[in-house]
Structure 1
Amino acid sequence: MLLSANMMSFQDLFLTPIYLLLLLGLAYALRGRFTNAYTRRYFIPAYALKLGGAIALGLIYEFYYSGGDTTNYYNHAALMYKAFGDSFPVGLKLLTSDGEYDPAIYPYTSQMFWFTPGSTEMVIVRIAAVIALLCFNTYTVMAMLFATLSFTGMWAMYITFVKIRPQLYKQFTLAVFFMPSVFFWGSGLMKDSICIGALGLLFYGFYKATIQKRSIITSAAIGFLGAYVLYVTKVYILLSFLPPAMLWVFNENSQRIQSSLVRMLAKPVLIAVGVGVGAFAATNLTAGDERFDVEKIGERSKITKEYLSEYVTSGSAYDIGELDGSLNSIVKVAPMAVFTALFRPFLFEARNPVMLLSAMEATFFIYLTVMMFFRTGLFGTLRMIATEPTVTFCFLFAIIMAVGVGTTSGNFGTLVRYKIPLMPFFLAGLFIMQARVDSLARLKRGNVNLQRAA
């Protein structure tokens, strides 16, 4: 049986303000190294919001949900912390074990229901346990340090977007930092915090190494670090990223080929290479994995959706169509899965305050998307997506992820957490398209004025 579900104590009240001041002081000291004249003003507010989100998530789980995933992560980490207190060698053995039986650590592992070979949850538990050693196993401080790790990757994501479209630095803060679901679910002692931070590192390293082609070794190392963290925690995010990323590299580089003939001949070859790399990654990275093996993905999606739909208690279940365990059924429900992940819950589907925030975000997404189609038309919008490499990448990544999370979630409570990695990219893509339309409109007005003047 696990330790008490009560995560917070007087220790939190005493240590949290101290660590909060230390973390904010460190952020102020480092701000100059990672910002410029335009992004500097957002560094501290974005970080402070992440810290606030981490604290808020803990309070919600403690006093509203009365426990949940963050409680389980803390309780598992607390057992590791206790093991280190009892015996450092035993604690170290527990920290580095991967689900195998060992009499020395059995008194602790017998209380850990996540202690199984290859458990992705135990990756987060190990990170939490190391952090616990730095803050006397204080839940709120652990949550703030998780938020710090997450912010590190998300700031890398933000400055990558800013490098791509510097004039949109204000809009990108909303896409990356200030969406309520992202800073709430992606800040606390949760797997989601680590994953969205790792995605930011992957995005940064990939862009700088393969498209900018600067500091290639360092950038590749950062990208591989992010990719590895995703591989051992939520590999489906990595699999959603790779194929659009390969196409992104091709689109960016093909535009630099001056000869239209060479560009036309190279395009199918490079696309085939990208598809091949994506297929190889999808089949080999997940081979033998009961949850993510491509050959079993249809069956697992069906089981997961039925389980989550059956046992959800908040009245937030949704139905996207029949899943029979085959890949063909996933293809059939994919459009509804994408629509659900991007644009639901609707406002009238909200059943609690947390779902209401998600519904407001979904309504904002609907508004921006409809306005884009209204301004440029269906074919104009699709043509713009296809001709803008970064937008192509952002939307393809968001759509692929939306299919995955939309078909496996089964209820809005789970969906809102699973979809946060795609939200910054989808919104950033919309902002880039909006800026492109505004630029074309200004150019058109300028040409009209010149013609009148002539």
Structure 2
Amino acid sequence: MGLQDLIVTPIYLLLLYALAFWIRPKVTNKDTRKYFIPGLTVKFVGAIALGLVYQFYYGGGDTMNYYNWGAKIVWEAFLDSPTKAISLITAGAEYPADAFQYASRIIFFGDLPSYSIVRVAGLLAIFTLNSYYAISVCFGAVSFAGTWALFFALYKYCSPIVHRTALAVLFIPSVFFWGSGILKDTITFSALGFFIFSLLEIVKWRRVTSLNFFILFISSYLLYHIKIYIALSLIPGAVLFVYIFYFSRAVKNTVLKILLTPILLVGVLYSMYFAALKLGEDNRKYSLDSMIETARVSAEWLYHVSRVEGGSGYSLGDDDFSPPGLVRKFVPGVWVSLFRPYIWEVRNPVMLLTAIESLLLLWLFGYTLVKTGFVSFFGFLIKDPLMSFFFLFTIVFCFAIGVSTFNFGSLARYRIPVIPLFAYSLFFVQFKRQDSRR
């Protein structure tokens, strides 16, 4: 933490709070207004806390690398020549000739998803006098924009549970910690919030405007460009949401719905498979075979590093990543992503917080399941188009990260897109149960 952090960061906090108070009347109502500033505040707390933990506890890591070997170099180029900094920010896959001496030092150059974070952080470095923590709170503000869009969309969908919606979307500690600093997860979580917001605006509320389609396009592009596995996990759920929504409105006969449901499910599965095939044609790295191999190599490497360094590794039983092996890992993969680490698996203080959160999430799931009943629980999820979307996204995404991470520290960060949606789904089912009893 340097002198510029102590001077510039408070100034940016004041400016961002002033902007927030100016915007608040335009994006809130009497039910949601009281959550706006607290929701923004926890994002700022998360952004600063993330930097402090990585700087003083871990002694480095991804967020520090994006700064030290990315944004800081852009700042140095700017001091040399503003045009060189612009060349770095707008560079493609090849080194810019006029800024080669700087681009060659950026360790993320050539890795386009990671370099996207360098572009944003480097641009912010110019306006914040290269203050890491000022850049971080700006990332936190970007994260809050998408988070608020998600919160407001889910509030509109079921306004009676506004308090529980705020808890699920705005105030889960791991989400505002891992999703607020200089990381890919900050941008992708914000993009996910805008994606769901625009999808609901277009499909549910029938606001078919150019702005909503623009938001949908940009958010989809960011998810695809920065973390493609999030985009792939969204495809089946989003398709199912659109299908069910229009299907339930068009077909009123119950018997006909039952007969047509298998056709609907086959269509969703085919859409998912077709999207994966087309993606593999465009980029061999993301073909089905390559993704399975990438998952295997990633899992084995992270588990090996965890064992060597005494870290927080886990295993799903075997190293068989063939189709039958992946089928066997399906339930354990989803389970570990949502409900582990257990308390007895804790190896460090940060992991303890994740374990407590996982335990509370397991309790909430068990409580909702017992109170609602197994059949009724899944009945509420399946009957509602948005809950079907969230449920399918949750199991697909959790399986994907569960079988490819094998490290609790990384898993705590990777899983933040699904935790708010899963918690909201449980609160929604509780409300539907109470409503049906009334």
Please indicate the TM-score interval, normalised by the length of the shorter structure. over 0.9
Q: 1:97-155 deviations in whole A, cap 9, x for unaligned?
A: 22314443221122122111x52100111111111122111110100000111110110
Instruction: Give a deviation string over 1:304-342, Cα, whole Å, max 9, x none.
Output: 001111112353111112233433322221110001001
Give the drift of 1:377.
2.5
Confirm whether residue 64 of structure 1 aligns to residue 60 of structure 2: no
Q: Which residue of 1 aligns with 2:382?
A: 386
Whether the 8 Å contact between 1:158 and 1:176 is mirrored in structure 2 is yes
Amino acid paired to 2:384: E
CA distance in 2 between counterparts of 1:100 and 1:328 reads 41
For residues 232-311 of structure 1, the aligned pairs below 5 Å read 232-256=225-249, 257-260=251-254, 263=257, 267-287=261-281, 289=283, 292-311=286-305
- Tell me the TM-score normalized by structure 2: 0.95
Q: How many residues align?
A: 434
What SS does the aligned partner of 1:104 have?
helix
Equivalents in 2 of 1:354, 1:227: separation in Å?
A: 31
The change in CA–CA distance for 1:29 and 1:119 in structure 2 (over 3 A counts) is same
Shift of 1:288: 5.7
216-225 or 279-288: which moved more? 279-288
Closer, same or farther: CA 328–291 of 1 in aligned 2, 3 Å: farther
For the residue of structure 2 that corresponds to 1:51, the secondary structure is helix
1:409 pairs with 405, 412, 419, which one? 405
Partner residue of 2:104?
Answer: 110
Give the Cα separation in 1 of the matches to 2:147 and 2:416: 12
| Offset, 1:376 | 2.8
Looking at structure 2, the residues matched to 271 and 140 of structure 1 have their Cα atoms a distance apart, in angstroms, of 47
Distance 2:49 2:419 in 1: 20
Which whole-Å CA distance do the structure 1 matches of 2:14 and 2:276 have between them?
44
**Among 140, 147, 150, the residue aligned to 2:143:** 150
Distance 1:349 1:54 in 2: 27
Instruction: Provide the residue aligned with 1:452 in structure 2.
Output: none
1:129 matched to 2:125? The reply is no
Of 420, 423, 441, 2:416 maps to 420
Alignment of structure 1 residues 350-361 onto 2, 5 Å: 350-361=346-357
User: Gaps spanning 5+ residues in structure 1: where?
Assistant: 1-7, 444-454
Q: Which amino acid letter does the alignment assign opposite residue 115 of structure 2?
A: M
What secondary structure does 1:338 align onto? helix
SS at match of 1:242: helix
Residues in 1 aligned to 2:377 and 2:285: alpha-carbon distance in whole angstroms: 36
- TM-score by length of structure 1 reads 0.91
Cross-structure match for 2:67:
74
Of 316, 322, 342, which residue of structure 1 is paired with 2:318?
A: 322
Per the TM alignment, residue 239 of structure 1 is displaced from its structure 2 partner at its CA by: 0.9
State the match for 1:55 in structure 2.
48
Tell me whether 1:95 sits opposite 2:89 in the alignment.
Answer: yes
Q: Is the 8 A contact 1:385 1:392 kept in 2?
A: yes
Structure 2 counterpart of 1:206, which letter? L
| CA–CA separation in structure 1 for the residues paired with 2:325 and 2:291 | 11
Q: Deviations over 1:325-377 (max 9, x none)?
A: 43332222111000100110111212222111111111111111111221233
State the partner residue of 1:191: 184
Please state how far the C-alpha of 1:269 moved relative to its aligned partner.
Answer: 4.8
- Structure 1 contact 304–408 (Cα < 8 Å) conserved: yes
Deviating above 6 A after TM superposition, structure 1's stretches of 4 or more consecutive aligned residues are: none
Distance 1:292 1:339 in 2: 25
Distance 1:49 1:248 in 2: 31
Structure 1, 51-60 or 105-114: larger mean CA deviation: 105-114
Query: Structure with the greater relative contact order (CA < 8 A, sep ≥ 6): 1 or 2?
Result: 2
Cα pair 2:87 2:96 within 8 Å, conserved: no
CA distance in 1, matches of 2:326, 2:282: 21
Question: RMSD of the alignment, in Å?
Answer: 1.8
Which whole-Å CA distance do the structure 1 matches of 2:65 and 2:298 have between them?
Answer: 20
User: 1:280: Cα distance to partner?
Assistant: 2.8
Structure 2 unmatched ranges of 5 or more: none
